Amino acid sequence: MSEEGLKELRNKLDSIDNELLKLLNERMELVHQVGVLKAQSGGAIYRPDREKAIIDRLDSLNKGKLNRKAIEALFLEIFAVSRTFELPENVAYLGPEGSFTHQAAETRFGAMSSYISIGSIKGVFREVSTKKARFGVIPIENSSNGIVSDTISCLSNYNLKIIAEVILDIHHTLATTCDKVSDIKRIYSKDIAFDQCHNFLENFGLDEVEHIPVESTTKAAKFALNEPNSAAICSHVGAKMYNLPILFENIEDKDNNKTRFFIISDFENASSGNDKTSILAKLPNTPGALVDFLTSFNKAGINLTKIKSHIVEGISIFFIDFDGHKDDENVKKIFEKHKNSIKFLGSYVKEIDDI
């Protein structure tokens, strides 16, 4: 292509960018007007159901090169910027900067929100409960390692609501200043990451070197950078944060390794028409109690998508997900029948059936 032809294309791109900037500013002005009305009525600022409906509509209209994932990435950032114009958001999340939970938070709240790194799941719940943070982001389960016990315990003990779920693909890297695998004498990582990369470590003889568990994969990258003959199993983001060279990528045993996160706050969602509801059930210790409870859902035509037993303070409870919203008529009947056994945790837009 000639220099003149390239210049013409760039001029067209500049013209489109100018128009995009104008339209985005117009959108922000309308967002401000909506924010004023919401403030007067007490409406929620973060509406995952509304955001999903917009993305669904745009995807259905799409005739160009953008796929749904690209549309979602672009507009989730626009939504996040829009919300900061309505009300600055403090978002508490588990772990240091660059952790997988931090990444999950940024997929929904964007780069302009104010993030608060918290060292424990209980701490995240406490920050939201005391209103120091508007939202909290915590892991609930991993496809390889199951349910996160601390999250279940906090959902039981705090009166906060799940307002959204985020599903994140979990990929690990082996990052090190060493040029060769044989130079590595110790590896830092979170204990769960060692488990998820067992096959890789064994295949490369790294199951024989010293494994040092630390509180986060991001901290592992920091240690590996400063210690000779060390490596870290960490995220791509964590390695880049410390300019730690990546020797291998995607070293996890399972190529469908996913973690599900909850976003918690102090309000409830309206129905979106495609919802999931989470509850905790504490059933009487009598014969047939569980069967009777589950039969109620079957008779009501409610699809249970997850049932996990858990012990909280010595008491057996069940964490349950099902399709539907708490305001659906068939769900209301279940809640009324078992009102002494159910703690409602939240109804929110369904991102995935299960992991």
Q: Tell me how far apart the alpha carbons of residues 168 and 247 are, in angstroms, rounded to a whole number.
A: 23
pLDDT at 77: 85
Q: Tell me how far apart the alpha carbons of residues 125 and 133 are, in angstroms, rounded to a whole number.
A: 9
Of 273 and 112, the structure prediction assigns the larger pLDDT to 273
Closest CA to 139 of 104, 190, 172: 104
Name the token pair of 265. 């706050």
pTM comes to 0.85
- For the segment 274-295, the average pLDDT, to the nearest whole number, is 91
pLDDT at 145: 85
Q: Which amino acid is at 282?
A: K
Average pLDDT taken over every residue of the chain = 91
**Cβ(233)–Cβ(197) below 8 Å:** yes
Q: According to the per-residue pLDDT averaged within each range, which of 26-30, 107-111, 135-139 is highest? A: 135-139
User: Which of 20-29, 44-53, 134-143, 330-339 has the least mean pLDDT?
Assistant: 44-53
Tell me the CA end-to-end span of the chain in Å, nearest whole number: 48
pLDDT digits (tens, 9 = 90+) for 228-263: 999 999 999 999 999 999 999 999 999 889 999 999
Name the token pair of 176. 């090190």
Whether pLDDT at 84 is above 80: no
Q: Which amino acid is at 100?
A: F
pLDDT at 34: 76
pLDDT digits (tens, 9 = 90+) for 172-226: 999 999 999 999 999 999 999 999 999 999 999 999 999 999 988 999 999 999 9
pLDDT digits (tens, 9 = 90+) for 122-178: 999 999 999 999 999 999 999 888 899 999 999 999 999 999 999 999 999 999 999
- For the segment 16-29, the average pLDDT, to the nearest whole number, is 94
Name the token pair of 202. 């064994």
Q: How confident is the model at residue 44 (pLDDT cuts 50, 70, 90)?
A: low
pLDDT at 86: 67
Q: Which residues contact 201 (CB under 8 A, 6 or more apart)?
A: 187, 194, 207
DSSP label of 66? -
Full set of structural domains in the chain with CATH:
43-170+257-267 (3.40.190.10), 178-248 (3.40.190.10), 270-349 (3.30.70.260)
pLDDT at 118: 96
Instruction: Tell me the three-class secondary structure of 295-352, residue by residue.
Output: HHHHHCCCCEEEEEEEEECCEEEEEEEEECCCCCHHHHHHHHHCCCCEEEEEEEECCC
Beta bridge partners of 306: 321
pLDDT at 45: 66
Percent of the chain exceeding pLDDT 70 equals: 96
Task: Please provide the size of the chain in residues.
Answer: 355
Q: Tell me how far apart the alpha carbons of residues 1 and 7 are, in angstroms, rounded to a whole number.
A: 10
Beta pairing class for 90-94 and 114-118: parallel
Query: What's the angle, vertex CA 95, arms to CA 312 and CA 150, rounded to 5?
Result: 5
pLDDT at 119: 92
Q: Tell me how far apart the alpha carbons of residues 338 and 23 are, in angstroms, rounded to a whole number.
A: 51
Handedness of CA 80, 159, 165, 62 (dihedral sign): negative
Q: How confident is the model at residue 306 (pLDDT cuts 50, 70, 90)?
A: very high
- For the segment 271-286, the average pLDDT, to the nearest whole number, is 91
State the Cα torsion 24-37-264-352 to the nearest 10°: -60
Q: Which amino acid is at 118?
A: I
- What's the helix, strand, coil split of the chain in %, to 5? 45, 25, 30
State the DSSP H helix or E strand holding residue 151, giving kind and residue range, or none if neither: helix 149-157
State the DSSP H helix or E strand holding residue 166, giving kind and residue range, or none if neither: strand 161-169
Q: 100: phi > 0 → left, psi -120 to 50 → alpha, else beta; which?
A: alpha
Q: How confident is the model at residue 39 (pLDDT cuts 50, 70, 90)?
A: low
Beta pairing class for 315-323 and 275-281: antiparallel
135-164 residues labelled b (16+ CB within 10 A) or e (exposed): bbbbbbbbbbeebbebbbbbbbebebbbbb
Give residue for tokens 């399972």: 254
pLDDT at 38: 63
pLDDT at 43: 57
pLDDT at 138: 97
Query: What's the angle, vertex CA 111, arms to CA 97 and CA 25, rounded to 5?
Result: 170
Whether pLDDT at 42 is above 80: no
Whether pLDDT at 95 is above 70: yes
Q: Which residues contact 337 (CB under 8 A, 6 or more apart)?
A: 296
